[in-house]
Every structure is written in C-alpha cells, then in structure tokens.
Amino acid sequence: MYNLEQLEQLSLYVMRRFGEYFQVVSAFSKINNNNSDKIEQIRGRINEQRELLDTLKKDVEINRNKYSESEIKAFEIEIEKSEKRLAKQVEILHQYENQVDTMHHTTFNLSFKLIVQVIIALTVLALMFYMVFFW
C-alpha cells in the first residue's frame, strides 16, 4: 500500500490538479457567459437592422409614385446591398454561435472532469485519514 509520505505527495498533486481544473472551468464559464451576452446583443442589432430595412422597403412601396424611376432603382439597389450585408452578418453570427456551443460542450466536459478530481481528492484524503489514525 502507500506510506504516509507518498500519500502526502499524492494529495498535493491531486489538490494542484483540482485547483487547475477549477480555475479553467471558472474561466470557461465566465467566457461562456460573456459570449452568450454578446450573441444576444448582436441578435438585437441584427433585428434592429432588419426592422429598418423592412421599414425602408415599405416606405419605398407606399411612396412609389412620389419618386422617379431612377430614385426607386437607387433605393432598390441600396436595399439589395443591405440585405446582402445583413445575410452575411447572420451567417457570421451562426458561426459564432456554433463556436460558443462548442465552448459550452468543452466546459461541460471539464466540469465533469472537475467532479472526478473532487472524488479523487476526497478518496486520497480518506486514505490519509485512515493511514494516520487507523494504521
């Protein structure tokens, strides 16, 4: 079995690993929260842009007779450009969301490993307690 010195070294190693896992999981959790907040902000901005674009489209349709053909064509070109930009922003947002989801899964896996580290640490402490008092 183990002697007391080996158990001390083992417990220090386990506690260091526990501390490292705890720091990593805490940092990842903070990053995940920040990323989720950023995604919501970006979604809000994209929705605002979409609403403005829809309003502009309706305005052009309603007031079509007030504008010349060249002005209507210019509006339509600008609307088309804006729609392309908005589609590109939505695509980038989806990529960002996928990366954040991957980060959430990684955090979950690390949390599981942290729980395993806690179990190992408690086992080592129980072994030390047994060695000191009952050996």
Q: Please list, residue by residue across 6-45, b when 16 or more beta carbons sit within 10 angstroms of its beta carbon and e when fewer do.
A: ebeebbeebeeebeebeebbeebeeebeebeeeeeebeee
Could you report the per-residue pLDDT of 55-65, keeping only the tens digit for each?
988 988 888 88
pLDDT confidence tier of residue 115, bands split at 50, 70 and 90: confident
pLDDT of 51 reads 94
- This prediction has a pTM of 0.68
pLDDT at 1 over 60: no
- Round the average pLDDT of the chain to a whole number and report it: 86
